[in-house]
Amino acid sequence: MKKIIQNFKDMEMSTDPVLIKSLVEKQYQPVSQKIIDYVNNLVIKNCAVVFSGGQQLSTADAYVEYKHIKDLGLPLNQKSLFLDKNNVDLINLTLSKLKVSTLVFLHSPEFSYLTLNEILLLIDYYKTHTNKQIIVAVSIFNICFNRLSTNLEELEKSVGGKFIDNHFVISV
Amino acid sequence: MSNTWREQQLAVFQGNCAEPVVIQQDHDLVDFIINNQYTTALAYGDTEYFSRYVNLVKTGPVNFCIFIVNEPFDFDEIVKKINTAIKYHIVNDGIIYLSINKFLAFPTRYSNDRNVEYDQLIYQYVNENINAEILSYSYVKNDKGSMFNFVHPLTRFYLKV
């Protein structure tokens, strides 16, 4: 007799951090030099890279974001933080101490399987609550949009972002 | 030796479960193979897992084809491959199982039907371009990544040549 799994949210998960890491690692998209250059042109100085991971996947989230930070050549120091996205007060308190002006979100797992509108809403939420410049780079393979009828050029104009090497990058 | 993505995903849940675990999409296809008593299948893409249930081949003539698209792809190329298989390898009344990871499609085309939902447009595109009749179509409208789409894609067709 087999147990059929339809939705992993209904199942108890292993607590093995290596296994949990693999859940998000599959969706990791290497960041190309074009994106690195583009983001670095947007980020002048004083940036902080904020991880905002989920509860069960925290180990995996941190691993994925760590790899993206390295790809982008951003410094991995006390400015790279792992924070709960729901705790905006903590984010503000920490960022104010670091005196940073820009937040960079890279392929945050919370952006996986979201529509572009949902991504923009999340960006707006952080911008409203932190008053920082926000830059997001997320793989198009994790965004829910119609690949058969979406004009990328028009979409870029309407949302203000840019599609570069299979990533969508937006700065607000 | 590295495990497949399916093996890694199953390992996350197996430890907490007494019975062997299987993902719904895999179970559905295996059931279809067994219930229809297929012994051979033309195979394209991410099909290795099903070799334990049916003999996978690269050429016909066959009456069953498994086509699982689970890496970055272009819709036109998929249509070409399937229609070529229909022409040269699959017999009349043969069945094609097509599973597509819709999140891995390159957005290289667009149409003026901007308001049509993606899932509907995939059905429309397959219906208009593949030389077979759609017997059934299933998809998950608001998949948020929790239903193992990257193990076995959830956008699925059964077609008849």
Q: In chain B, whose CA is at the least distance from the CA of A140?
A: B103
**Distance, in angstroms, between A148 CA and closest chain B CA?**
5
Q: Are B11 and A19 in contact (CB under 8 A)?
A: yes
Predicted confidence at residue A92, as pLDDT, reads: 67
Beta bridge partners of B90: B62
Amino acid at A169: V
Check A147 against B105: CB less than 8 A apart: yes
Concatenate the DSSP letters of all residues of A3-70 into one string: EEES-GGGSPPP--HHHHHHHHHTT--PPPHHHHHHHHHH--S-EEEEEEE-STTHHHHHHHHHHHHH
Nearest to B113 among A113, A144, A149 (CB): A149
Check B12 against A4: CB less than 8 A apart: no
Count of Cβ atoms closer than 10 Å to residue B69 Cβ: 23
Nearest to B23 among A5, A19, A141 (CB): A5
Nearest to A2 among B8, B20, B147 (CB): B20
| A75: exposed, middle or buried (Cβ count in 10 Å: 0-12, 13-18, 19+) | exposed
The two structure tokens encoding residue A98: 């670091």
pLDDT at B5 over 70: yes
Predicted confidence at residue A24, as pLDDT, reads: 52
B52 CB near a chain A CB, below 8 Å? Answer: no
Strand B21-23 versus strand B40-45 pairing type: unpaired
Chain A residues inside the 8 Å CB shell of B20: 2-3
Check A5 against B72: CB less than 8 A apart: no
Stronger pLDDT, A28 or B65, i.e. the higher one: B65
Check A27 against B150: CB less than 8 A apart: yes
Predicted confidence at residue A56, as pLDDT, reads: 36
Q: In chain B, whose CA is at the least distance from the CA of A1?
A: B19
d(CA A28, CA A6): 23
Average pLDDT of the residues in B23-49: 97
**Distance, in angstroms, between B55 CA and closest chain A CA?**
23
Check B27 against A4: CB less than 8 A apart: yes
The two structure tokens encoding residue B95: 């069945």
A97 CB near a chain B CB, below 8 Å? Answer: no
pLDDT, one tens digit for every residue, chain A (172 residues)? 888 888 776 666 555 656 555 555 555 566 677 777 777 777 655 666 655 444 334 444 555 555 556 666 655 443 445 555 555 666 666 666 667 777 777 655 545 677 777 778 777 877 777 777 778 777 787 788 888 888 888 888 888 888 888 888 888 7
Predicted confidence at residue B129, as pLDDT, reads: 95
Check A148 against B117: CB less than 8 A apart: no
Provide the ipTM: 0.83
Average pLDDT of the residues in B132-152: 88
The two structure tokens encoding residue A103: 């937040």
Check B116 against A142: CB less than 8 A apart: no
The continuous run of DSSP H or E covering B84 comes out as helix B75-88
Tell me the HSE value of A79 on the side-chain side, using a 13 A CA sphere. Answer: 17
Whole-angstrom CA distances from A22 to A64, B6, B91 are 10, 11, 41
